[in-house]
Structure formats: C-alpha cells, structure tokens
Amino acid sequence: MSDTAEIRIRPVQDSDGLALEDIRRAAFEPVFASFRALLGDELYELAQAKEDAGQADMLRGLVAPGSGWEVFVAELNAKVIGFVAVKVNAETLIGEIGLNAVHPAHAGHGTGTALYMHALGHMKRAGARVATVATGGDASHAAARRAYEKAGFQAAIPSVWLCRLL
C-alpha cells in the first residue's frame, strides 16, 4: 500500500529538529550495526565509529542557515516521516542528494521515492544538468539503492572502501 497520495513535502522548519534526529537515528541504526559486523568491533571503533557518531552533527549542519544545503521533509498526517538534503552547484550545474532518510515505520511505501522526485525537480528548477547521490554497497544499503534506481539513478561507479589494522 502506498502512502504517497497523502504525503506532503515542504521545506524544513526549525521545529522539525527533533523529528529529523529521530528519523536519522532509527534509519541509520541498522546501517551502523552492519558496518560494525562487517569491520569487527576493533576496526569499527578505530575507523568508523566517530564518523557514525558525527552524523547527528552533520544533520544539524545541513539544516543550519548558510549551509548551502536545502532540506525538505515528508509529512504524513502532519507528522514528519522523512527528509532529504539537496544542494546544487551553480558553477558545475551538478545537483547532489545528501543525507536523507525515511523512518523505518514508513519505509517501503514510496516516501523515499517522493522525496527523491521532489529533490530532482528542485535541482532541475535550479538549473542543474546532472543529479548525483552516493550510497553504500553493503546489504544494509540495498533498500536505498533500490529507491535511488526507482527514482531514475542508473549510471554508477562502483567503489570499495578497505581498511585493516596496523
């Protein structure tokens, strides 16, 4: 069942901060657990944990005035259930989808696709000629990859991040 007919997408407001943090935490908890499982505890703590812990600060930075990012939220029945950060480089005409998430309780019902289509329309209106998004290649990002593909992202450059203890 799709909730998209009832979804409203609007610019972020100062009052959305707690909801965005709740969505970010809930959506990325399994991703961070996957990273820990893939790397093992010691490598995770040394190479990845600080970046994961810093994601909350990153989100606050994206919504801060003058960040260069525009953040849009998806509402269902007046409750924020997802968000997407968008940036357009006026010189390169490249648009970028940055940090984004849908609360797991609302995942799989088209909210992500609605947010991405809104972001793409915003980029196009701002003059972008290309849209980019980056995501993980691990199993915990499979749903995100499917959602991006559903929104029309097809061309990809595979990447692998390797690390080891010294």
CA distance 138 to 136: 6
At residue 152, what is the residue type?
G
* pTM of the complete model: 0.93
* 25-30 contacts at long range (C-beta below 8 A, 24 or more positions apart): 25/56, 26/101, 26/103, 26/104, 26/105, 27/101, 27/102, 27/103, 27/104, 27/107, 28/52, 28/55, 28/101, 30/140
- Amino acid 144: pLDDT: 93
Domain ranges of the chain: 4-150
CA distance 10 to 22: 18
Looking at residues 74-90, what average pLDDT do you find?
Answer: 97
Question: Which of 46, 24, 19, 22 lies closest to 35, judged by CA?
Answer: 46
Mean pLDDT of the chain: 95
pLDDT exceeds 70 at position 1: no
User: In this structure, which topology does domain 4-150 adopt according to CATH?
Assistant: Aminopeptidase (3.40.630)
pLDDT in tens, 97-117: 999 999 999 999 999 999 999
- Amino acid 82: pLDDT: 98
